[in-house]
Amino acid sequence: MNNENNCVLADGCKAAGTDACTRHCTHFIAIHGASGEGGRSGAAGLPREYRLVTLKNSPARADQSEAYKAAEAYAASFARQFEQGGPVAPADRIKDLYLFSESPGTGKTTTAAALLNEWLRVHYSGSLRRGFEPLQRPAYFLDVNAWQNERRWRSF
């Protein structure tokens, strides 16, 4: 039994689906930690339930097909992080993204998690291919509702 279904790197990994794809893989450990609960994914603050969500397997994809076309185009720009060593023209900058819906339960959090996992994958594998040391926390998942609640209760 391999570890392919437990790793966000599997989509681009040559070892995925083979006998070499185990929980002992150094790349799995780098992204998910030895227990599957840490690594760069844990350092990014990604909630457990979203740590394996990708743009391809997201449950929100079916109901938000147009949004996912835009999300895939946005994720395609992530490789530019390796080209931005100096001044960057505004048209070439990796843009910020804000997910908005007037209704709850439309897949905003799931989509944000999928995009963060895509960023982690591109940053990690792209850094290694270029001989760079991947950052331990190249992104951070901030749950604004939880943050607001924490701040609200601390002020009393």
Specify the pTM: 0.87
Kind plus residue range of the DSSP H or E element containing 72 = helix 65-76
d(CA 76, CA 71) in angstroms, rounded, equals: 9
Residue 144 CA: distances (Å) to CA of 47, 56, 70, 80, 151: 13, 25, 23, 27, 10
What integer pLDDT is reported at residue 123 of this predicted model? 94
**Over its length of 156 residues, how does the chain's per-residue pLDDT go in tens digits?**
688 999 999 988 999 989 999 999 999 999 999 998 999 999 999 999 999 999 999 999 999 999 999 999 999 999 888 876 666 677 777 888 888 889 999 999 999 999 999 999 999 999 999 999 999 999 999 888 788 888 876 655
